[in-house]
Every structure is written in structure tokens, then in C-alpha cells.
Structure 1
Amino acid sequence: PVPETGRPADLVKRDFSADALNELWVADWTYVRTAAGWVYVAFVLDVCSRMIIGWQRSTRMYTDLARDALNMALFNRKRHGHCVKGMKHHSYRGIQYRALRYAQTLQNAQDVASVGPKAILAIMRWPKC
């Protein structure tokens, strides 16, 4: 089993809005059947811009798939000079997002984790930014 953290509070409370970049990120994953088999995709989206800022894909679902997408998002934003310290990071309560290594990645970036009870992207509105 993958070591996991306790469940963080839901800081978003289904209000998926942000007035500035890097204020709120959401993370999720999906899978698609292709001619070659299943493909899994994890992604991180900036709520203000509605841009996918980090993603990773694989032919198998593994815990670090989500963390790899998070690392890409952190790298992309820092590379362009954005400060992500204190940013809220929201996900549903899947094991990928409660894994100890995922939590440590957020902690190292000085970001705040938030976990909600349900799927995320289906209820988001068009961006303000």
C-alpha cells in the first residue's frame, strides 16, 4: 500500500473561482480507451485561466502519475517567474492525491492542499482572467 496523509479540509467548498493566476489549482485524472488499450492522463489546471499547466500520461495508473503532473505545473509556473507559494491546490479524495509523496511535493512548494468529496471539472465556469 502507498503511505497516505490524512484528508485535508475542503477549502474550496464547490466555489471554483479565482481572481488571479496561481490562486487556485485543481487536479484530476481520466482515462480513455484507445486502439492500443487504456491511456491514463493526470492534469493540473489553473482555475483563473482554465489552462492545463501540468499533465502526464501513461498506459498504466500509478500513484506518481498525478505527482508528475503536479511537478510539471510547478516547473512551468516557476520557469516563467510565477510565485506559487500559498496557492490552494484542490483535488478529490483519490489515493493519488493523498499519497505521502504528493503531499510532500505540495509542502515543499509551500502550497495548501484542499480535498473535496466529488469530481471537480464538471462544475467549473468560464474564466474571469
Structure 2
Amino acid sequence: MEPLLSVAVTRAAGIQGDSRGVVSRGKIPRRQVALIEAESWQEAMDELRLFEGMALPWFARRANLCVQGLRLPREPGRVIAIGRSCRIETTMECDPCRRMDELAPGLMAALTPDWRGGVLGRVLDDGPISVGGEVRIER
């Protein structure tokens, strides 16, 4: 994972540079973009009771985007708008995998309640996004 200050998001390729977002011909993407809330990540870190300075950064979760101060939808079919033109439709919960416990024992369980692991979505409309850009729920 490589933290970026800005990136292009497209229907054809998801987050620029992330091959997991590329849409195969004839397929409808369901896991193009992964989003997590900073607050949910912090709750998981607090639950693990790690020693001071041992908390993991949010991108250890392998999510593409981290939002702060906004509760992400907990259902498919909602639309998240980012910046002036990027729109992402939620498709499902991003269930934490066993890989999380390799990062920190108990992390998988700490990310399980209330969609703490984040949401997955597909890109509806292309657009550039950047750190500090506006994020809102459209529907």
C-alpha cells in the first residue's frame, strides 16, 4: 500500500494503480474500491489495546480510501460522492480476512462488528480525488 495525496478514480480501473479495481470485459464490478472510516479503524485499534505507538495505520487494512467524520452506509446501493465528480455505489461489507490477524492478533475480530472493516463499492462516475476533499452520501 502506498498513501497518496491525490489519485484518479475511473469506472474502467477503479483507483489508479490498483489492479484489483480493473473491470474485466462483461463483468459488473462489486469490489472495485474499498473504503474505511477513520473512527471505525480507531475503535478496532482501541479494542486491541496495543502499546502506545504500536497502533497500525489505516492503510494496513488494505483499504483504498479512508474517510473521517462521516459514517459510511451499511447497505448496498447507496452512493458516496467524493470531490466534484467521483461517485461510488456501495455493493457490500468489506469483511476482514485472516490476514488481519497476521498484522495484529485479534484484529480480524475487532474489525467484524458494525461494518468496521469498511465497505466495498463500484465506481459510477470518474473523477479525481484528494486528501481533504469533500465526501458526502448522496442516497
TM-score (norm. length: structure 2):
0.27
| Higher CA-based Rg | 2
TM-score (norm. length: structure 1):
0.28
